[in-house]
Amino acid sequence: MLPQLSIIISTYRREKLLKLTLDSLLEQTSPFSQFEVIVVDNDAQPHPPTQTLCAAPDYRSLTLKLVHQPLSGVSEARNYGVRHSTAPLVGFVDDDERLAPYWVERALEISATRTPDIFGGPYHPFYNVSKPNWFKDQYVVMSHGTSKLWLKEGMYLFGGNLIFQRAWLDRLKGFSAELGHKGTGKESGEEIEIQLRANRLGARIFYDPDLYILHYVLPERLTPAWYLQSAWYTGKARAKIAALNPHAHLPLRAPEAGSGTRSGSAAGCVSFFVRLKNMLRDSMRLLGRYLGLPFRSRKVFPFSPNYLIERVAPAIRDFSASWFSLVYPQKSGH
């Protein structure tokens, strides 16, 4: 009997974290025959620790395939995993997550009762080190709230908790290899871009808060420097998405840090001079935010990292997006 759901996990030299994800799949309430697991090793050469882990006796009860994709990039890895999948539903999770015990069961129920073309749910954090006293969980929560809803234009699901009807993945020809992180890089945006193209073709996209995953918060994400650097790469990705989809509406400008959502819209097809004006505006806004650090409200921002993450990081993101909008040539179509 063929599985109903293929779960694809792209990994790059993170076997200790990958083990957390695979262990959570052993705890699923659904029969193991209902899903298959495809681990895509995205190292240049097959990574022996990853091979050893996936061959461990603990996982023999799972239908687990380990494949190797030497072309670097999470988009290349995911697309390669799709080619090895056999189920009508294809889900993408990351190698640093724990799936809720009923994740597969809930995914199959949503597909049967709601029949969405694409669907997913929220991220909630988990930690293995103590959080700094200034750190807020909202910095790492990704959510559209506690209600089930059909997403409107300008709203997007999150890349590490994302399920497609296989027919739609084939129609969209997978993720764009021009986007997504490569190796240990921080670039992203591939999950927004593919949903953007799906929206243009009329896809029905559904969000269910019960279809959640627990996302491991790396220790480096407990520093403001991580968020400032990530903001730069997020802006860069949004500019690239706008260049690839010049007639679409997408979140070129970012929501404020800590909002936990991905929404908003901005026209991608705009003149060079408008983009230059936006870059100058955003550069002045960023400068103002930096200079405002010593004068911040101590009542609102008692700790400087909160101000940096909640006020400076969004300004970096917007400046990066407007700066790279001048760099990337806009295409006439996708």
Per the DSSP assignment, residues forming a β-bridge with 250 are: 266
- Which CATH number among 3.40.640.10, 3.90.550.10, 3.40.50.11740, 2.130.10.10 corresponds to the domain 5-221? 3.90.550.10
Q: Where are the alpha helices (DSSP H) in the chain?
A: 15-26, 48-54, 74-83, 103-113, 166-172, 190-200, 224-244, 272-291, 304-307, 313-327
What pLDDT was estimated at residue 257?
A: 46
Q: Tens of pLDDT along 130-179? A: 999 999 999 999 999 999 999 998 899 999 999 999 999 999 999 999 99
d(CA 87, CA 102): 19
What pLDDT was estimated at residue 268?
A: 46
Question: DSSP state, 312?
Answer: I
The continuous run of DSSP H or E covering 98 comes out as strand 97-99
Q: Where are the domains of the chain?
A: 5-221, 226-327
What pLDDT was estimated at residue 330?
A: 64
What predicted TM-score, i.e. pTM, was given to this entire model?
Answer: 0.89
pLDDT tens series, the chain, 334 aa: 799 999 999 999 999 999 999 999 999 999 999 999 999 999 999 999 999 999 999 999 999 999 999 999 999 999 999 999 999 999 999 999 999 999 999 999 999 999 999 999 999 999 999 999 999 999 999 999 999 999 998 899 999 999 999 999 999 999 999 998 887 667 789 999 999 999 999 999 999 999 999 999 999 999 999 999 999 999 999 999 988 887 665 554 544 444 444 443 444 456 788 889 999 999 999 999 999 999 999 999 999 999 999 999 999 999 999 999 888 876 654 4
Query: Would strands 213-216 and 123-126 be described as parallel, antiparallel, or unpaired?
Result: parallel
What pLDDT was estimated at residue 303?
A: 97
